Amino acid sequence: MEQLVIRDADVVDGSGEPAYRADVVVDRGRIVSIVKEAAAAGCQRPEAMRELDAEGLVLSPGFIDMHAHSDLAVLRDADHSAKAAQGVTLEVLGQDGLSYAPVDDRTLAQVRATITGWNGSGDDIDFDWRSVGEYLDRLDRGIAVNAAYLIPQGTVRMLAVGWEDRDATPQELDRMRQLVAEGMEQGAVGMSSGLTYTPGMYAKDAELTELCRVVASYGGYYCPHHRSYGAGALEAYEEMIELSREAGCSLHLAHATMNFGVNKGRAPELLTLLDEALAAGADITLDTYPYTPGCTTLVAMLPSWAHEGGPEAVLKRLADEETSARIRHDVEVVGSDGCHGVPMDWNTIEISGVSDPGLGEFVGRTVQESADLRGESPWATARHLLVQDRLGPTILQHVGHEENVQAIMRHRVHTGGSDGILQGAKPHPRAYGTFPQYLGRYVRELGVLSLEECVAHLTSRPAARLRLPDRGLVREGYRADLVLFDPATVAAGSTYENPRTLPTGIPHVLVDGQFVIEDGRRTDVLAGRAVRRSPV
């Protein structure tokens, strides 16, 4: 007898087609039978060892978070309700060109220092891996939800070139090609870049194109955080489209927003650019989060030249009065490349987390507010935080526009990505709320998307980008990564004031046919594993 029958569910199967009522039978991690309108038809209803009454609930494929920063969280936190409670059954890690594989001892230390604000220091983690394959093997020991991995181009450059702002030598480029090929062979689904983060941003397009050719040869995709989301946003999108065309590589645009005042109301220009590229045969997808503020680290706002040499070099420059004044000028007057070419407005920069608890008074305030309280310039406050917290502060950047958010999420190649940083006392609420926010606010309350269309954005569309042949749809033979939610009550519980509040209206989540959320509570099941690239 089969393991489980989910009875009388309203199935939104991920295809975008209208919902239907059915009994869905799960066994050994797979959907083995779907009996539509079983009760009304009066037929022999399927039986199983366990029955779940889904009356009033929608059954959909599990949600795929196309942009996650849980690289250490999945190892640190077995519960991982931040994602599991949202209905997320698969996260894509290794984002923005910076993560923890492939590394050697030197670069591991540098990466840990560089992205402490994203993932914590890692002092509580046993870094018993160095290669991409070894990291994926570590995930296979059991995690809350499944995870795929992108090779981080910035980390690869760190390994082969270091922190210098220069072209790679032919030998260094060969080494980077080799590292990318090895990562793809070991199961990565593609490559990411952070082209406003160092050292990845030091790579010119010709270098990136060569690495993307390697990715394309394995059927993977390129996922850039491109060179500007501000003053040069449209040009940066165009650059990535042309680069991927030249390389013959599929393209997935990370957190594809149009932020800052210079881009207010300009989402239609981005969508026209996408439509023209798609009509010409380009393979492009994108992800966004359903909120207006961005989230990153405070140190990321600095100009790229200030990062050359690595984290310790940054701290030395900040400590030097003359160099610090030069950094300030670039940030506040010129508009640094780290802040997307837009002069800094410190009223938009809210400190969301610090590594040193002694700096907790700054959390939840803008840099301008703290500076006013301290009777000093905003730069003096920002510099103090960066030095005292050793580059650890995370920020919310309040620069988005609701009309742009809504326009982009309607596009046919759009997918959902939380970009959720789980560190800090007051993280961005998207970390705990992205997927119920789509379903509650943008489907039920605002009607921006239909329920069926929205679920497709969060399930089958990302599964197709990841080339996963048996995920993203409710189909017989597919993996039983499933979520049951109440369309009348599903909502994000997380807010800017209380960002770690779990969502409502999602009583059940299954990973590989096992309940990780049951009756609204996290079980002790660790059914998640590494999801490796499908062979070409």
In one-letter notation, the amino acid at residue 484 is: L
- 10 Å Cβ neighbour count for 80? 23
Indicate the pLDDT class of residue 45, thresholds 50, 70 and 90: confident
Q: How confident is the model at residue 534 (pLDDT cuts 50, 70, 90)?
A: confident
Sheet strand arrangement including 394-397: 294-297, 394-397, 349-353
3-state helix, strand, coil split of the chain in percent (to 5) is 40, 20, 40
Please state, in angstroms and rounded to a whole number, the distance separating the CA atoms of residues 382 and 368. Answer: 9
Average pLDDT of the segment spanning 21-34: 96
- pLDDT (average), residues 78-82: 97
Question: CA torsion sign, 94 to 532 to 130 to 176?
Answer: negative
Per residue in 143-153, pLDDT (tens digit) is 999 999 999 99
CA 468 to chain centre: 18
Give tens-digit pLDDT for 237-291.
Answer: 999 999 999 999 999 999 999 999 999 999 999 999 999 999 999 999 999 999 9
pLDDT band at residue 87 using 50, 70 and 90 as cut-offs? very high
Mean pLDDT of 126-155: 98
- Tell me the three-class secondary structure of 85-151, residue by residue: CCCEEEEEECHHHCCCCCCCHHHHHHHHHHCHHHHCCCCCCCCCCCCHHHHHHHHCCCECCEEEEEE
Q: Name which of 523, 455, 456 is nearest 484 in CA terms.
A: 455
Confidence band for 419, pLDDT divided at 50, 70 and 90: very high
Give 41's pLDDT tier (boundaries 50, 70, 90): low
> What whole-number percentage of the chain has pLDDT above 90?
96
Check residues 442 and 50 and name the one with the higher pLDDT.
442
Classified as helix, coil or strand, 536 is: coil
Across the range 342-352, mean pLDDT stands at 95
- 490 Cβ contact list (under 8 Å, min separation 6): 436, 439, 440, 444, 503, 504, 505, 506
Which residues 6+ apart lie within 8 Å of 180 measured at CB?
Answer: 151, 153, 156, 191, 211, 214, 215
Strands (DSSP E) contained in 384-481 are 394-397, 414-416
Burial label for 123, CB within 10 Å (0-12, 13-18, 19+), is exposed
Banded model confidence at residue 2, pLDDT cuts 50, 70, 90: low
Residues 6+ apart with CB under 8 A from 295: 352, 394, 395, 396, 397, 419, 421, 427, 428, 430
What's the rounded mean pLDDT across residues 391-415? 96
Angle at which helices 233-247 and 267-279 cross, to 10° = 10
309-342 pLDDT, tens digit per residue, is: 999 999 999 999 999 999 999 999 999 999 999 9
Quick one: pLDDT band at residue 40, thresholds 50, 70, 90? low
pLDDT at 38: 61
Q: Greater confidence, 424 or 91?
A: 91
The residue among 208, 210, 202 whose CA lies nearest residue 166 is 202
Orientation angle between helical segments 205-217 and 153-160, nearest 10 degrees: 110
DSSP 242-305: HHHHHHT-EEEETT----SGGGTT-HHHHHHHHHHHHHTT--EEEEE-SSS-EEEEGGGGS-GG
Q: Residue 42 above 70 pLDDT?
A: no
3-state secondary structure of 513: coil
β-sheet bridge partners, residue 2: 48
Contacts with 432 (C-beta within 8 Å, 6 or more apart), sequence order: 82, 85, 86, 420, 492, 493, 494, 499, 500, 501, 502, 503
CA-based nearest residue to 438, from 422, 469, 460, 416: 416
Specify the pLDDT at position 123: 95
Q: Which helix (H) or strand (E) holds 200?
A: none
Average pLDDT, the chain: 96
Query: Does residue 43 carry a pLDDT above 80?
Result: no
Measured from the Cβ of residue 532, the count of other Cβ atoms closer than 10 Å reads 16
Quick: pLDDT tens for 480-530.
999 999 999 999 999 999 999 999 999 999 999 999 999 999 999 999 999
Report phi then psi at 26, rounded to 5: -120, 135
pLDDT (0 to 100) of residue 535:
72
Whole-angstrom Cα distance, residue 453 to residue 404? Answer: 19
Distance CA 216, CA 227 (A): 21
> Has residue 61 got a pLDDT over 90?
yes
Q: What is the pLDDT of residues 289-306, one digit of tens each?
A: 999 999 999 999 999 999
Cβ atoms within 10 Å of 218's Cβ, excluding its own:
18
